Each structure stands twice: as C-alpha cells, then as structure tokens.
Amino acid sequence: MARSKTPAAAPVPTSAKELKDTLWKAADKLRGSMDASQYKDVVLGLIFLKYVSDAFTERRAEIEAELAEEGYDAEQIEDTLEDPDEYTGHGVFWVDLDARWATLLDLAKVQGDKTIGQRINEAMDLMMSANPSLDGTLPRLFNRPNVDQRRLAELLDLLNSMQFAGQGATKARDLLGEVYEYFLAKFASAEGRRGGEYYTPASVVRVIVEMLQPRKGRVYDPCCGSGGMFVQAEKFLAAHHEDPSNLSVFGQELNESTWRMAKMNLAIHGLNGNLGPRWGDTFALDYHAGTPMDYVMANPPFNISDWNRRESDARWAYGVPPAGNANYAWLQHIISHLGPKGTAGVVLANGSMTSNSGGEGEIRAQLVENDLVSCMVALPEKLFRSTGIPVCLWFFDKDKSDRGVGSIDRRGEVLFIDARSLGHMVTRAERAFSDADIQKIADTYHTWRGMPAVASSTDGGGSDQTRDRIYEDVPGFCRSASAFDIKQAEYALTPGRFVGAHLAVAGKKVHERIQELSSALEQGFNQSTRLQASVRQQLERLEK
C-alpha cells in the first residue's frame, strides 16, 4: 500500500566518538574473564544486535505514524507492525519479540530459569532464522561457563546508552560500520600477532583499492579475514557515486570465528557476499574454483610452512611452490583466478621479492617472463603492528596492452615504486599512510598505466579527470623497468634495486652537501694528523 513518509520523533543519535568510547569501556568489562578472541566476539555480537534492534524500532515507529495518519485503526496497525515484509523491504532486518534489545534488557537482571547468556544465544538463533543473509553468522557463546553473567548483564546496560536510530538507515549503517572497523583495529592491536590474522591496516587496504579501482565485476579475497578488502571496495564505489551492487563479492576464510566476523561485517555494510558455505582451507578446497575474477585483493598469511600442498595441483602453472613456504602458492592461486583482463593486489613479506629457495626464484622468473607482474611497491616499516616483518605489494595484470580510453601499452614492463619514505607515526609502534601518500602511490601507477586520474575516495570527490601529464621515472621513488632489465637483475623484484637513490632537490643543496662532506673529511684528516703526532711523541719518550 502507498503511504506518505512521516517519520516519527526520533532519539538523538550517539556520535561516533561517544560510541567508540562507550564500546571500549564495554570491552573492558569482560577483559580478564575470557581471552581476547572471545570477548571480541561477545562485544561485536552485542553491538550488531543493538544496531539491528534500533533500526527495527525506528522502522516500527515510522510504520505506526504513517498508518495512524492515514486513519488505520489499532488492530490494522498492529497487524501491519508484525509483517516482516514491512521491514525487510526497506533494508531492515526482522527482529522477533524475544530478540529485541528492550526485551533482553528487561530480562538481563531477572533471576529465572534462563541466564541472560542463554537468552542472548536464543536471540541470535531467532535473528539468523528470520534473516537468511545472517545464517551461520552470529556468535552463540554468551552462555559459556567462562562468561560472567553478571558482567554480561552490566554490559547490556552500558551498551543501551548507544543510539543508532534517529539518523536514517544509511547513516546508521555507516556509523555502525565505522565503529565495527574501529573495534577490529583495537582488538587486532590488543591481540598482537593473532590479531594480524584477521585485520589488515586500513591504509594498506586503501592503497590496493585505490590502485586497482574496482568498479564493476567480481572481487575476490582467498583469505578474507574480517572482510576489510570488500568494505574498502564498497567505500571506493560510494565515494565515486557508483552503485556498490556493481561488484559481486567472493571470499574464503580458514578460521571459523573470523569467517563469522567477515559475514557480519558484510551484513553491516549492506554487502551480499559469497564467502562459501562455511569456513575452509583455500588450498585444500577452493570454494570458488573455476570462477574468473575481475579483481583479487589479498593479505595472505606470510611465510607459512604448514600448508596443504599437492604437487599435482593445476594452480601451479609456473612451478611447484616449496613445502616450507606458501608465499608462491598464494601468488599462483590468485593468478589462477584472474579473468582475461583481471588485476590483483597482494600483500607479502619482502623476502618474496628475492627468495630463491625451493624453486621460488624460477617461479618468479616465470611470472615476469609471462608478463603477469605489473607493479611492485616497497612499503615502510611498522605499518603492521602485529608483525615486524617488512612487507611489499605485488600487483598483477592479465592484460597489460592498450585497453583504449587513453591507456598505455605496458607489455614487457614493470613499474617499481619505493614508498618506504612515506607514512607517519600514529603511535610509537605504528605507522600509517596519509591520504596524500596513498594518492601519490596510486596516481603514479595510474599515470604509468594511462588510467583516468581519480580523486581519493576520502576526498569526497569522485569524478574521473582527464590526465594531461605523462609518466616519468623519479629517481629514488619510481621507475618503469623492462623485462630485460629485470632479467639482468636475476629476476629480483626489489624496487630499491631499480629506482636508485633520491636526487637532491636543487643544485644549491647539492653544492651545500658537497661542502659539508668536504668539511667533515678535512676535520677527519686534521684529527688523524694530530693523532699521528701524538703517537710519535709517545714513541720518542719511550726510546729515551
């Protein structure tokens, strides 16, 4: 039925900063009573439940106000309020009465035949049963013996101060997404190396997304963690005023808890993704085998030695990876999924650029000779708080020819970018890229490839701009090298080997630097002369 839009009076929404402060306090309430991975699931699960319940309540108030204005009686209004289609048709999850936040809050401190943890578990079951996109996604660990039920009740009370309602579905979802990503980053930091298994720093993900510009088609991550690559791809499209449904999401994740986090993260951002029927090992069983991808973006676990290796695997088209390191297994798996014009960006340890052990050097040579590598980016240290291993970015392109619309034929060439001098310290232990850093890296690649210049997805702009400049090598930062050059370097792909040293900014500074060095050298010679004279004097005294 057609109805006018007269929104009900809505509560004042909680700001992002208030939400983050509140939520970290919420996490602290459970810290100590369970390990980090568990309290992460508890807190994120309750945040999600609060959000869907707020959205449901806001939509319910809208329906009631609309029907009352149109003269419907109380019975008709009540019937419509309990129609799930009135909610799901507007992008709102249906929430059963026993799963609603107000119901759970009322029962949180009631001594009865069920604990609050048991009731929350049941609420999660009701949510998944009523909303197929959430099937197998939500956590059900609230009634475990190590979950303090008193603290859990207090946690509900604290989270009740959050308000996702009162700002419209899109803004509420964006706010939830921001809070969710903030928490993933905080938990990853708290969990150290374990946290790195599911979280890739946002600025690193943005470099990959901004360089590849995923606009339309299939986007794939074979080790998707909590789904950060997909979320940034969706943000890229939104920033450039394009429909997020232009991308079809495919992924796989080995860890059960992380797979559930990814499913929840996609649901929060309104993304329909195929993450397989369940969690699973990509090497043992590839859920998306045979599906050509337009974009692959991945941060696989570095240097893993215990992996499901089969020498006869068809994915090893350029050489069988060594049993002791899966880096080149990930690279070849990713390449095997690229469609005829597919592109990929992959985070790997720096050792992957030069290693020759176990046949890796031969595989790398084959990747270059088959013209698959398009760009190598050396990253600065401390971007990953979870590991001190220096990392780099590999970019692949199945078709480096001129694709029209101003693009440049780059067959037989590889772009090397040394970004180790970029970034700024956000804490004593962690570095991040600024928007300008990301734009500099991406724009260099786009100019080299002849892709349209696009404003950064965080600048608010999004229209393509005509490029009026030509790519040039910049000593110390970037160089386009031929396959012959790379062969001469024995197929080592370290950007520093190709880009050379930075030139001084101006001739005057070169002169000044030469003077400084000459002065220092002269001082060294003078000191050496004085020392020689002193030694001679001492020797003469001994002879007397």
Distance CA 141, CA 284 (A): 28
Q: Do 365 and 413 sit in the same domain of this protein?
A: yes
The enclosing domain of 205 has a CATH number of: 3.40.50.150
Q: Do 168 and 203 sit in the same domain of this protein?
A: no
Q: Do 392 and 314 sit in the same domain of this protein?
A: yes
Helix (H, G, I), strand (E, B) or coil at 338: strand
Q: Do 517 and 393 sit in the same domain of this protein?
A: no
Domain count for the chain, please give it. Answer: 3
How far are the Cα atoms of 200, 350, 375, 404, 534 from residue 442, in angstroms, in the given order?
Answer: 18, 20, 11, 20, 59
Q: Do 28 and 115 sit in the same domain of this protein?
A: yes
Both structure tokens of 59? 């939509």
In a domain, 5, yes or no: no
Q: Can you give the pLDDT at residue 485?
A: 97
In a domain, 409, yes or no: yes
Q: What is the DSSP letter of 198?
A: T
Distance CA 264, CA 261 (A): 5
In a domain, 8, yes or no: no
pTM equals: 0.80
Q: Can you give the pLDDT at residue 463?
A: 46
Cβ-contact 99, 126 below 8 angstroms: yes
Q: Which of 188, 221, 242 is the last residue of a domain?
A: 188
Best-predicted range by mean pLDDT (79-83, 155-159, 411-415): 411-415
Q: List, in order, residues 6 or more apart from 192 with CB less than 8 Å away.
A: 385, 386
In a domain, 1, yes or no: no
Q: Which of 145, 161, 188 is the last residue of a domain?
A: 188
Q: Do 348 and 446 sit in the same domain of this protein?
A: yes
Q: Can you give the pLDDT at residue 188?
A: 65
Helix (H, G, I), strand (E, B) or coil at 341: strand
Q: Taking residues 14-27, what's their average pLDDT?
A: 68
Q: List, in order, residues 6 or more apart from 226 with CB less than 8 Å away.
A: 184, 198, 199, 258, 261, 262, 265
Average pLDDT, the chain: 84
In a domain, 11, yes or no: no
Q: Which domain holds residue 171?
A: 16-188
Q: 122-136, 291-305, 372-386, 492-506 — which is least confidently predicted?
A: 492-506
Answer whether residue 508 shows pLDDT above 50. Answer: no
Q: Do 33 and 91 sit in the same domain of this protein?
A: yes
Q: Do 115 and 132 sit in the same domain of this protein?
A: yes
In a domain, 360, yes or no: yes
**Which backbone phi and psi does 432 adopt, to 5 degrees?**
-145, 155
In a domain, 442, yes or no: yes
The pLDDT tens digits of the residues spanning 208-236 come to 999 999 999 999 999 998 888 998 999 89
First-to-last C-alpha distance (Å) of the chain: 118
Long-range contacts of the stretch 438-443 (C-beta < 8 A, 24+): 438/203, 438/206, 438/207, 438/210, 439/210, 441/207, 441/210, 441/211, 441/377, 441/417, 442/207, 442/210, 442/211
Between residues 448 and 243, the one the model is more confident about: 448
State the residue for tokens 């509140």.
22
Q: Taking residues 155-163, what's their average pLDDT?
A: 83
Cβ-contact 228, 199 below 8 angstroms: yes
Q: Taking residues 342-350, what's their average pLDDT?
A: 96
The enclosing domain of 56 has a CATH number of: 1.20.1260.30
Q: Do 491 and 530 sit in the same domain of this protein?
A: no
Q: Do 386 and 441 sit in the same domain of this protein?
A: yes
Q: Do 174 and 217 sit in the same domain of this protein?
A: no
Q: Do 29 and 65 sit in the same domain of this protein?
A: yes
Confidence of residue 31 (pLDDT cuts 50, 70, 90): low
